[in-house]
């Protein structure tokens, strides 16, 4: 018996999503995939095409009423699943973005950051770095203590980017754990902050701030005006002239 042209189609769709993401699907393929969850055995390709033809677009299908979806031939289970999808998305957006905008409530955002740094770094080893991941509106969504032990600065920057790119961060805060004897940031620390900022921008992540933590000190580079986001800001500062001879050959 000849195999259907759609034989193995579900496996191919799932493999494509895993490899390239759900945005790689055409509208009718996306709708097919949604229907896999309520129609386990039938070919959902013609059903998806029929729905898009009837409602004019994928958006039209997703915005259709429960009654309209039932009249279009979907079972009660499938119609309810499709009808509820926009509402699931709205609930997620409300949850994810239900925080004050950073520019309106920076004090509370910094309070949350510094509370996490104090509680996490208190028992951390000297030399470790706390990476705090944040949403676009400043909500902390994760944190991780790491060790950047590579001797070369380039290798440390590369490793940091490899770690951060696996998170869902829009902003990150970095906090270095130092010893009691270390009392303040060095010119090199200020220089590396600019390097971190530029490297993270290359992976579409913004360095929100960097912190210096020791048992007797927790200081924000930005609050101390030691945070230079752009090359122009850094190169026009006094710190560049202090260290350019030592590190002028460094490049990302």
Position 180 scores a pLDDT of: 64
pLDDT digits (tens, 9 = 90+) for 47-104: 999 999 999 999 999 999 999 999 999 999 999 999 888 888 777 666 655 544 544 5
pLDDT digits (tens, 9 = 90+) for 6-62: 557 888 888 888 888 888 889 999 999 999 989 988 889 999 999 999 999 999 999
Position 143 scores a pLDDT of: 92
pTM (2 d.p.)? 0.53
3-state SS, residue 176: strand
Per cent of the chain over pLDDT 70 is: 80
Residue 203 has pLDDT above 50, yes or no: yes
* Rounded distance between C-alpha atoms, residue 47 and residue 29, angstroms: 11
Residue 182 has pLDDT above 60, yes or no: no
CATH of 106-247, one of 2.40.10.120, 3.40.140.10, 1.10.8.60, 3.40.50.10310: 3.40.140.10
Give the long-range contacts of residues 142-147, CB within 8 A, separation 24 or more: 142/167, 142/168, 142/169, 143/116, 145/120
Residue 151 has pLDDT above 80, yes or no: no
pLDDT digits (tens, 9 = 90+) for 152-177: 878 889 999 999 988 888 899 999 99
Strands (E), 44-159: 128-134, 140-147
Mean pLDDT, the chain, rounded, equals 81
Residue 236 has pLDDT above 60, yes or no: no
Residue 246 has pLDDT above 60, yes or no: no
Domain residue extents for the chain: 9-96, 106-247
C-alpha count within 13 angstroms, C-beta hemisphere, residue 148? 23
Please choose, from the candidates 232, 237, 230, 186, the residue with its C-alpha nearest in 3D space to the C-alpha of residue 212: 186
Position 194 scores a pLDDT of: 84
Position 195 scores a pLDDT of: 86
């Amino acid at each position: 018996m000849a195999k259907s042209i759609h034989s193995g189609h579900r496996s191919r769709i799932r493999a494509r999503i895993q490899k390239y993401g759900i945005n790689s699907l055409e509208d009718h393929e996306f709708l097919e995939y949604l229907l896999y969850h309520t129609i386990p055995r039938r070919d959902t390709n013609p059903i998806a095409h029929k729905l898009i033809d009837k409602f004019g677009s994928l958006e039209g299908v997703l915005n259709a009423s429960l009654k309209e979806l039932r009249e279009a031939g979907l079972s009660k289970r499938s119609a309810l699943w499709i009808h509820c999808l926009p509402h699931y998305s709205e609930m997620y957006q409300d949850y994810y973005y239900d925080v004050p905008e950073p520019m309106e409530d920076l004090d509370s955002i910094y309070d949350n950051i510094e509370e996490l740094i104090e509680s996490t770094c208190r028992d951390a080893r000297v030399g470790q770095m706390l990476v705090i991941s944040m949403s676009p509106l400043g909500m902390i969504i994760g944190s991780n203590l790491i060790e950047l032990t590579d001797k070369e600065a380039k290798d440390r920057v590369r490793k940091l980017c490899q770690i951060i790119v696996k998170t869902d961060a829009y902003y990150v805060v970095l906090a270095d754990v130092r010893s009691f004897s270390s009392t303040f940031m060095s010119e090199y620390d200020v220089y590396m902050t600019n390097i971190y900022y530029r490297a993270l921008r290359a992976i579409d992540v913004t360095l929100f701030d960097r912190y210096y933590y020791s048992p007797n000190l927790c200081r924000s580079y930005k609050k101390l005006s030691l945070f230079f986001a752009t090359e122009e800001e850094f190169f026009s500062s006094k710190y560049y002239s202090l260290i350019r001879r030592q590190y002028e050959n460094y490049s990302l």
